Amino acid sequence: MKLDLHCHTCYSKDALSSPYNVIKEALKKGLDGIAITDHDTTSGWDDAIKAAKELNAFLILGEEIKSNKGDILGLFLKKEIKMKGCDPKEIIKEIHKQGGLAIIPHPFYKLEGFKDDIKKYNIDGIEVFNAKRPISSPDKKAFDFTIKNNLIMTAGSDCHTAGACGYAYVECGAKDLNEFKEKLIKKQVRIHGKKAPLIYTFASIFKKLQKKEA
């Protein structure tokens, strides 16, 4: 099973594409599905669930929550976490209450990295490859940090438009999402990724100039 674990849809204020188009692109690139991780909202879940069923794709329900220290990905959630700007410890606690996994995305990028010592927090894992950001050294630092601290590794495109989806993903021999989660926790996964074309890096800017895709 191959899943892109960091995807934004038009339900994020800075993203362009419908859940259907994002999932369709993931399948086109040979993946089996995605995690929907819109910024501080789960409004796209219903559309994503419908699209995943129609396209016969796997879908992890998630959210990217902005804490007062940086972003936190909640994966395998059951409901929205409405705690924007709160202490990371409280957000992580709520993710765990739902049986979810708390992942720090793009932790060592200067502009959007995590602004505190990650070791202080009870996180489950680190995003070790982010396809949106063109510089590779922060990914290498994240990979080394994850190995040293025995954390879960994830990877994602951080796509803000459908075309950018699928450039990074996690692969394992799971048959369903429960098994995929178990493999993540046991660190029995493989990380794949390449940097997306630079044009996709500016999707958030284009959002201000273009209408959402149908």
- Tell me the whole-structure pTM to 2 decimals: 0.95
| Main-chain phi, psi angles of 138, to 5 degrees | -65, -30
Share of the chain above pLDDT 70, in %: 94
Is residue 211 pLDDT above 70, yes or no? no
Of 175, 166, 176, 170, the residue nearest 189 (C-alpha): 170
- pLDDT, average across residues 59-74: 98
Give the pLDDT confidence score for residue 201 in this predicted structure. Answer: 74
pLDDT at residue 206, as a whole number: 62
Domains along the chain? Answer: 2-164+177-203 (3.20.20.140)
Look at 134 and 210; give whichever has higher pLDDT: 134
Average pLDDT of the chain, as a whole number: 94
What does the pLDDT read at residue 199? 85
Residue pair 103/78 in contact by the 8 Å Cβ criterion: no
The two structure tokens encoding residue 178: 């429960």
Which residue in 109, 108, 114 sits closest to 91, CA to CA?
Answer: 114
